[in-house]
Amino acid sequence: MTSSNRRPIYMDYAATTPMDPRVAKKMMQFLTPDGEFGNPASRSHAYGWTAETAVEEARKQVAALVNANPKEIIWTSGATESDNLAIKGVAHFYGGKNSKKGKHIITSKIEHKAVLDTCRQLEREGYEVTYLDPEPTGLIDLDKLEAAMRDDTILVSIMHVNNELGVIQNIAAIGELTRARGIVFHVDAAQSAGKVDIDLSSMKVDLMSFSAHKIYGPKGMGALYVRRKPRIRLEAQTHGGGHERGMRSGTLATHQIVGMGEAFRIAKEDMAKDQTHAAALRDRLYDGVKDLEEVYVNGDMAQSVPNIFNISFNYVEGESLIMSLKDLAVSSGSACTSASLEPSYVLRALGRNDELAHSSIRFSIGRFTTEEDIDNAITHVRAAIEKLRALSPLWDMYKEGIDLSQVKWAAH
Amino acid sequence: MAYSDKVLDHYENPRNVGTLEKDDPSVGTGMVGAPACGDVMRLQIKVSDDGIIEEARFKTYGCGSAIASSSLLTEWVKGKTLEEAGQIKNTDLAEELALPPVKIHCSVLAEDAIKAAIEDFRGKADNEKANDANTADGSGKAA
Amino acid sequence: MSVYLDYNATTPLDRRVLDSMMPFLCEQFGNASSGHQSGRIARAATDVAREQVAALVNAHPSQVIFTSGGTEANNLALKGCAARLTPGHIILSGVEHSSVRSPANVLKKYGWRLDEIGVDADGRLAIENLRAIFSGISADRAKILAVMLANNETGIVYDIAPIAALARDFGALLLVDAVQAAGKIPVDFTHSGAQLMSLSAHKIYGPKGVGALIVDKAVDMEPMLQGGGQEKARRAGTENVAAIVGFGKAAELALSELSTRHAQTQTLHHYLEARLRSELPQVCIFGQQAARLPNTSFFALPGLDGETLLMSLDRAGLAVSSGSACGTGDVEPSHVLLAMGVSPEHARGAIRVSLGKESRRDEIDSFIDCLKQQVHVLQRFAAVAYA
């Protein structure tokens, strides 16, 4: 992970994290042939019971991080599945054929694709979705949210921490608005669990999606919190043996679940330390690059998690920037969209112009990032920006005092 | 995105980066693309009296493939006549650089750039001729 | 003593599979959708796994969609296809796994009709019954047929060729659940006549939490999970790289060792059933006249309660099951046996022994000895109770 083995400096923790060695160690007990390999659903022998006990212990650990009841935790294959299950599950249950309530859903334009694409799917099924514009800071204006609520609104889905910007939405306040109107409130917490305090006993959140691989746990593992009081009902999306109280069938992957449990246990223990560490490194990084001209921070640093830091370097194109930062593993926008030529939809929703959206870099810092990593990153970034600006006709024009917005471009 | 070795080479060591005096009558400038699309190329050629491209310079805002396409193009056009340079096809650039399908537009942009530069140069030359002619018949009217 | 004879429920991870996964659990942790180096390494590894899984069932790598397991694969197949069709008929064999039966039942809500193909007392599919069902459905109605390649409880293997031929004649899509068959007998997707096939890693010494749906490119299918566009937009969600790599390795090993594993388990299987028949002559082995997997015996001993027997066997360190391991923990008699016409009382006493590549002859000896002893004890109790 460090530059000593000549691998790129990893600063893409928001895309995925390495597993904490403690998590890997715990998982091994359920992976090796001489370990506990039983199917937790096997009721007739100790192999099954041992696996089931481990699964329930992990459920407690996940619940503990967010102050929930373990019975409110449903295992899934990841946050994408959790988002799909929460949104479609609520829509189909409360907005289905026999429902009197309605078919209106509110979300925002900067949600993760797992939420946006699911909402698009529901639109095809006849639901109506309002996509709120964020403020230029990335925050959702509560008055605008409230204004969008209607009598037939069944669900509000707003993410806790944005994966590209790191901005933290005020989910406690949103919960007050939704609860008062009997609207189900879903929160994608894939990027916030272990980064921000979450207390589901006081926050009026009804459904919350979690991912293991964003907090040093295994990939392919997630969970959905489903509130019991007041009880939230869902229509299952995966049917079969009736696992997870009928809400999500499929053999439970014991080792993955145990890994997620351990990751959440560690997160509870180390959250304060992790975030202090990230804040110091983020500040160091920003100090190291902010004197380059035309640098813009995307989002609102004061209302963001310190582990995600998104900046744009004007007059430099994003993909070539990534290319010249080959010794840094960073991302421009989210991992899912980086293969396409589109600028980040999140930055566009903030009102950033295309050039700045194109030249954005998301640095995401983690538990294993060092000061040396940051210093090396600063050196690489400065060199890359200087090189690319020397190559950039736009930089020349800016330096000549030409207003680029007044230039007529031959769009192609 | 995996890049070919040739793209990487041009990206790491771009050839003929720079600027020529755009008001020089022997210089043609082509500026194509748009910042909103993620790439802008500025290609300049300096043409000798007998119509041979003596110098080529570029600056490109764009991805590695766009930078490589313009860098390669400057190498190719040097020493060519305007006619020959105008016949360079984007497919030749794409093939030489082994561009993946999603990056073909970079080579298209480079082809557009050289065409625009040639056009700019010819426009200047025509103006000059017209100016010369105007001067000759004494009307002195600017074009 | 600890003897595991429940390989159809799940298998231990092969050491070589674990070794293949280790780099991706620790050092190579990249997101396979990230553009940078660590992402590309992950992507390359999942590409290899896709080839390995495809090879196990003679499919093309582009036909493989990785899922979170066999249950999701079956759900995706049925619901994904149904979503793109005008509701018509879903036809199932009477012995399908709950991950096929359950989504099929849900689709009834959306206007789909459900038909079941009966099986005979030996568990064999009544092919004429299927023809009759097809003939009764008008030609323009959409038809989805699901038949498993091998049953998880009885181990009965279904001859897919004539079923596929009928499906083709009547224009039905065919889903073959090959979760239990793969790795135990040869499986050939390309020549099966099926358009869809589901697989699971943890039944072939791979990790839990990963499976695959093999899909013919011509099949129009709606994704069940929307999101980042992974798996060519057919299954969203960050790729479970380590598990996918493990699945690939497990598939590679299953293919290269297929005949040895087959021969080895078959020998033990014959030995197990020979001892059962000779030493417990009252034993009734379900589906014994039908073609079966070389590892599965599902049987009952008349007059003995299965739950009690399983409990005593477990206390003696013998892990077997009463059938399918599902999530609800209910003790309903096996629907597979009921479909075969077995009485509920008889079905309730059923015990499934499923062997694996780690099984040994002495484990079967322990099992038979223990079983005989328990039967003896339980019969004495029964005799006392009746006296």
Q: How far apart are the first and last CA of chain B?
A: 49
- Shortest alpha-carbon distance between residue B106 and chain A (Å): 11
The torsion angles phi and psi of A273, rounded to 5 degrees, stand at -65, -45
- What is residue B102's predicted lDDT score, i.e. its pLDDT? 83
- What is residue B142's predicted lDDT score, i.e. its pLDDT? 40
Question: Which residue in chain A has the smallest CA separation from B32?
Answer: A410
Q: Per residue in B23-80, pLDDT tens?
A: 999 999 999 998 877 889 999 999 999 999 999 999 999 989 999 999 999 999 999 9
Average pLDDT over chain B, rounded to whole? 89
Average pLDDT (A389-408) is: 91
Instruction: pLDDT band for A409, please (50, 70, 90 cuts).
Output: confident
Helix, strand or coil for residue A330?
coil
Which positions in chain C touch A117 (Cβ < 8 Å)?
A: 226-227, 229, 236
Strand positions, DSSP E, A109-234? 128-132, 153-157, 184-188, 207-211, 222-226
CA A379 and chain centroid, separation = 28
The DSSP code for A133 is P
- What is residue B141's predicted lDDT score, i.e. its pLDDT? 42
CB spacing of B41 vs A319 below 8 angstroms:
no
- Shortest alpha-carbon distance between residue C164 and chain A (Å): 24
Instruction: pLDDT band for A302, please (50, 70, 90 cuts).
Output: very high
CB spacing of A114 vs C228 below 8 angstroms:
yes
Record the pTM: 0.90
A314, A317, A322, A324: best mutation site toward chain B, by most B Cβ within 10 Å? A317
As given in the structure block, the two tokens for residue A135 are: 């403020």
Instruction: pLDDT band for A338, please (50, 70, 90 cuts).
Output: very low
As given in the structure block, the two tokens for residue B12 are: 């790491």
The torsion angles phi and psi of C10, rounded to 5 degrees, stand at -165, 160
Q: Note whether A393 contacts B: Cβ–Cβ < 8 A.
A: yes
Which positions in chain C touch A219 (Cβ < 8 Å)?
A: 31, 238-243
- Partners of C6 in beta bridges: C354
Highest mean pLDDT among A343-357, B38-52, B121-135, C243-257: C243-257
- What is residue B60's predicted lDDT score, i.e. its pLDDT? 96
CB spacing of A8 vs C226 below 8 angstroms:
no
Distance (Å, whole) CA A102 – CA A184? 12
Of residues B16, A24, A110, the one with CA closest to residue C25: A24
- Shortest alpha-carbon distance between residue B33 and chain A (Å): 6
- What are the Cα distances from residue C38, in Å, to A14, A335, C177, C259? 14, 12, 35, 37
Q: Which has more pLDDT, A408 or C269?
A: C269
Q: Per residue in A99-128, pLDDT tens?
A: 678 999 999 999 999 999 999 999 999 999
Which positions in chain C touch A211 (Cβ < 8 Å)?
A: 238
CB spacing of C224 vs A19 below 8 angstroms:
no
Q: Note whether C332 contacts A: Cβ–Cβ < 8 A.
A: no
Which residues of C are annotated as catalytic?
326
A1, A4, A10, A16: best mutation site toward chain C, by most C Cβ within 10 Å? A16
Helix, strand or coil for residue C267?
helix
Q: Are C301 and C350 in contact (CB under 8 A)?
A: no
- What is residue C383's predicted lDDT score, i.e. its pLDDT? 65
Which residues of A are annotated as catalytic?
336
Q: Which has more pLDDT, A28 or C34?
A: A28
Distance (Å, whole) CA A148 – CA A143? 9
- What is residue B138's predicted lDDT score, i.e. its pLDDT? 44
- Taking phi over 0 as left and psi of -120 to 50 as alpha, with beta for the rest, A60 belongs to alpha
Q: Note whether C215 contacts A: Cβ–Cβ < 8 A.
A: no
- Shortest alpha-carbon distance between residue B143 and chain A (Å): 22
CB spacing of B38 vs A341 below 8 angstroms:
yes
Tens digits of pLDDT across chain C (387 residues): 689 999 999 999 999 999 999 999 888 888 888 878 888 899 999 999 999 999 999 999 999 999 999 999 999 999 999 999 999 999 999 999 999 999 999 999 999 999 999 999 988 899 999 999 999 999 999 999 999 999 999 999 999 999 999 999 999 999 999 999 999 999 999 999 999 999 999 999 999 999 999 999 999 999 999 988 888 889 999 999 999 999 999 999 999 999 999 999 999 999 999 999 999 999 999 999 999 999 999 999 887 777 788 888 999 999 999 866 554 555 678 889 999 999 888 888 899 999 999 999 999 999 999 999 988 887 777 666 554
Residue A334 pLDDT greater than 60, yes or no = no
Alpha helices in A113-170 (DSSP H): 113-124, 142-148
Catalytic residue status for B63: no
Q: Which has more pLDDT, A358 or C258?
A: C258
CB spacing of A391 vs B3 below 8 angstroms:
no
Average pLDDT (B3-14) is: 92
- What is residue C385's predicted lDDT score, i.e. its pLDDT? 57
Environment class of residue C150 by beta-carbon count within 10 Å: exposed (0-12), middle (13-18) or buried (19+)? buried
Q: Per residue in A362-383, pLDDT tens?
A: 999 999 999 999 999 999 999 9
- Taking phi over 0 as left and psi of -120 to 50 as alpha, with beta for the rest, A133 belongs to beta
Interface size, chain A vs chain B, as Cβ–Cβ contacts under 8 Å:
83
- What is residue C329's predicted lDDT score, i.e. its pLDDT? 56
As given in the structure block, the two tokens for residue A86 are: 């929460």
At C353, which amino acid appears? V
Q: Lowest-pLDDT range, A82-86, A144-148, A371-375, B38-42? A: B38-42
Q: Lowest-pLDDT range, A168-182, A297-311, C249-263, C304-318? A: C304-318
Distance (Å, whole) CA C10 – CA C5? 10
Q: What percent of chain A has pLDDT over 90?
A: 81
